[in-house]
Amino acid sequence: MEMTSVSLKRGCLVVEDNDSVTPQEETKKQKVSEGCLTSSQDGIENDGLHHSESEPGAPEAESAVKDGKNSSTRVQEEEVEEEEEDGLSEAGEEEEPESFADMMKHGLTELDVGITKFVSSHQGFSGILKERYSDFVVHEIGKDGRISHLDDLSVPVDEEDPPEDALTVLTAENKQQLEELQLFKNKETSVAIEVIEDTKEKRTIIHQAIKSLFPGLETKTEDREGRKYIVAYHAAGKKALANPRKHSWPKSRGSYCHFVLYKENKDTMDAINVLSKYLRVKPNIFSYMGTKDKRAITVQEIAVLKISAQRLAHLNKCLMNFKLGNFSYQKNPLKLGELQGNHFTVVLRNITGTDEQVQQAMLSLKETGFVNYYGMQRFGTTAVPTYQVGRAILQNSWTEVMDLILKPRSGAEKGYLVKCREEWAKNKDPASALKKLPVKRCVEGQLLRGLSQYGMKNIVSAFGIIPRNNRLMYIHSYQSYVWNNMVSRRIEEYGLRPVPGDLVLKGATATYIEDEDVNNYSIHDVVMPLPGFDVIYPKHKIREAYREMLAADNLDIDNMRHTIRDYSLSGAYRKIVIRPQSVSWEVVAYDDPKIPLFNTDVDNLEGKPPPVFASEGKYRALKMDFSLPPSTYATMAIREVLKMDTSIKNQTQLNTSWLR
């Protein structure tokens, strides 16, 4: 039984959104990001919580049900989703595990992270979010305002490209030997490949294949005892390897191949790691504007340095759940945060609302919007929320940081992590706890490795082994926790109208609303600060509420600089209410919970007819389309429609009872 409704990744940290998050936009420099105006990343919402186990800073996309943060720029300061490992729990576990629903009883609810207010007065209804990952589709909106679609698989005609046969003529063993030669990984100075079924054409194709797939190698034909061999060798010693692709790239062609990536059930960094593996290149030659959620179908633009469209298109023959197309050659890579946002197509299944209730809810979303809270995935899925770790970092309580990350906890986790935590609690020996982890790239594994290296008395250095974005994720989670709570207090105190002392942005600068200016603004103009040393606070009761909340956590709002520069918070501004664009919806009836309720780009490419719905069915679903700016959570938009807790804890209970 697939418990999905929320995408749950059971690994170390859980932070996922399906909004469109753009990994980080440099914390300070970009304090304003359309929706969020926060300062470092926007997110792409992933609806359920996506746990990242070790990905270096994947941006969050918050426009989805983030849940969905539409992130394109990391507005908030850099949030990370660690990369999720495909690890399964270790074989041979004897104890009967708790059901997923039981484990999630320990998870967070919206109330726990300050999400309490709605902007509309319509009556809510229930529905299941992300019951299938194909119910959540994210299309990136580029800097030119165009929505990315995969609708062309053709390869640009280029006389410089080798024939198609060149991509298949070499065996896996040939490729491994040639790669080792290219990278100087063995003592051999050349690799000889025998030409079977010798013809001049066959030899030519092998020559072309080696030169195109392994830049920096030269080839020659040799006769050995009556047999023909193609011999590959280095053109100019190790210097030739400094930038191997430059040896074979046509000067008339743009250095970057841009393409549209369609992916299913993979987050962006995982997808790039897969592409890198098949192309035998480093992941850092890829660039993108924002990372997209795992538990979704997503469509986004990617750029790669000096890899031909022909080679990329060939991957369509060997990769599952990916499609690459819409190829073009450009002079420049893509930059994080350049997107305008994300367009979401979301299906909420098994809804209980009447047609009139749905109409009221969707009109309110279209005309008024939703409270721009940080979605649940920003805070983790286990009994130790990420904001608690962030608070301990800001307090300089490093023993607590270590304990919070490593101690046993209730909630959904992989079996090997549970065993690792038990070992840690028992012996406090990082080396023995590390041995329990088959996957060492998760945050827990990295911290244990740091403690083994630096010792238990130097936790700061040990923690520093964790990639920077992953470390900053914790303190950004704390900022988000404060922001959510303060916005709820602001709405409780003053309602959904601007009041004197509120903040609005003029350009990137925050200014106060004065008495005489109140009528010039709406609630959609009002911003609230994420706490930091470079922001101002409202001039009304909420200023003191910020001070009190931080003081209760032993933090000084007037001194947000940390002794360790990385953990100094400059702060940022974020709009408190967001109004989605391009909102449309329909209610459809269906009988089979497993059938798709709309066509994807790949369905359309394959000529699949769109689904036909009966006038009546066993179930009803709400299909909704809307666009969000970077750094807003789609799940928070859906929450406003349903008037329902979007936490993985609540959605799991709902989904479980329905499936029964």
Active site residues: 293
CA 647 to CA 381: how far, in whole Å?
Answer: 9
Q: Which residues of 627-646 are buried (b: 16+ CB within 10 A; e: fewer)?
A: bbbbbbbbbbbbbbbbbbbb
Q: Give the distance from CA 369 to its chain's centroid.
A: 24
For residue 288, which of 255, 314, 322, 261 has the smallest C-alpha distance? 261
Three-state secondary structure call for residue 316 = helix
Cα(579)–Cα(557) distance, integer angstroms: 31
325: left (phi over 0), alpha (psi -120 to 50) or beta: beta
C-alpha–C-alpha distance, residues 417 and 57, integer Å: 21
Cis status, amide bond into 67, omega within 30 of 0: yes
Q: How does DSSP assign 64-75, residue by residue?
A: STTT-B--SSBB
**DSSP H or E segment with residue 192:** strand 190-194
**How many whole angstroms separate alpha carbon 367 and alpha carbon 511?**
26
**The two structure tokens encoding residue 643:** 């008037």
Distance CA 128, CA 421 (A): 33
The gap from C-alpha 606 to its chain's centroid, in whole angstroms, comes to 28
The residue among 650, 646, 621, 648 whose CA lies nearest residue 634 is 646
Residues 270, 11: Cα–Cα separation, whole Å: 15
Give the max Cα distance, the chain. 96
Contact 364, 124 (CB under 8 A): no
| Cα gap 327→254, rounded to integer Å | 12
CB-based contacts of 565, cutoff 8 Å, min separation 6: none
Burial (CB count within 10 angstroms: exposed 0-12, middle 13-18, buried 19+), residue 441: buried
Cα–Cα distance for residue pair 195/308, rounded to 1 Å: 26
C-alpha 408/C-alpha 489 separation (Å) is 33
**CB-CB contact of 505 with 39 (8 Å):** no
Nearest to 639 by CA among 346, 412, 386: 346
Q: Report the phi/psi class of residue 327: left, alpha or beta, with left for phi > 0 and alpha for psi in -120 to 50.
A: beta
* Vertex 478: Cα angle to 105 and 336 (nearest 5): 105
Q: Which of 647, 442, 473 is nearest to 81 (CA)?
A: 473
- Beta strand 577-578 pairing with 581-590: unpaired
Q: Which run of H or of E encompasses 302?
A: strand 297-305
H-helix segments, 216-330: 268-279, 309-314
CA distance 499 to 481: 24
Angstrom CA distances, 214 to 167, 230, 253, 482, stand at 11, 14, 19, 52
- Name the residue among 34, 20, 4, 243 with its Cα closest to residue 130: 4
Taking phi over 0 as left and psi of -120 to 50 as alpha, with beta for the rest, 502 belongs to beta
